Amino acid sequence: AKFSPVATAFYRLLPDIKIIKEVEGEAAYRLQKCFSPGVIGVRQEKNGKKIAVVSNSRYDTSSRNVFRYDDLKDTVVMSKMQDHFIFTIESVGAMQPEIIFKEAIKILRNKCVSLLDELKSA
């Protein structure tokens, strides 16, 4: 069998999750389970009430499980930030992913400069 390394490069938009209605008690824990670990946290208030809060929306995988529950589906708004990209680059060779990304940006920049030169001369 011949060794054939495969590595991927992809991007996604940063998820933006907002809790628009307070979710407390057992419902807060159910909301937490609807998302990937680390996305929703449960915070205890000074009065002892436990409420759901967004901890880190970056971990969200857009599963949309929250919409399975009638009592929870109207408590959150899920969207994507249109100007924030998360790049994932894997490398199985000698080059580190950071170097691959920087080289790709240089190539893209040069292609943009070439395109602008073509447009100016046309």
- Residue 30's domain is classified under what CATH number? 3.30.1360.10
Q: Does residue 38 lie in a domain region?
A: yes
Determine, yes or no, domain membership for 87: no
> What is the pLDDT at residue 2?
78
In a domain, 29, yes or no: yes
pTM given for the model: 0.75
Q: What is the pLDDT of residue 90?
A: 93
pLDDT in tens, 53-62: 999 999 999 9
Q: Which range of residues forms the domain containing residue 42?
A: 15-80
Number of domains in the chain: 1
Quickly count: other Cβ atoms within 10 Å of residue 31's Cβ: 25
- Establish if 121 belongs to a structural domain: no
Q: Is 119 within a domain?
A: no
- Whether residue 117 is contained in a domain is answered as no
Instruction: Give the number of C-alpha atoms closer than 13 A to the C-alpha of residue 58, restricted to the C-beta side.
Output: 7
Task: Report which of 102, 101, 13, 1 is spatially closest to residue 61, judged by C-alpha positions.
Answer: 13
pLDDT at position 4: 75
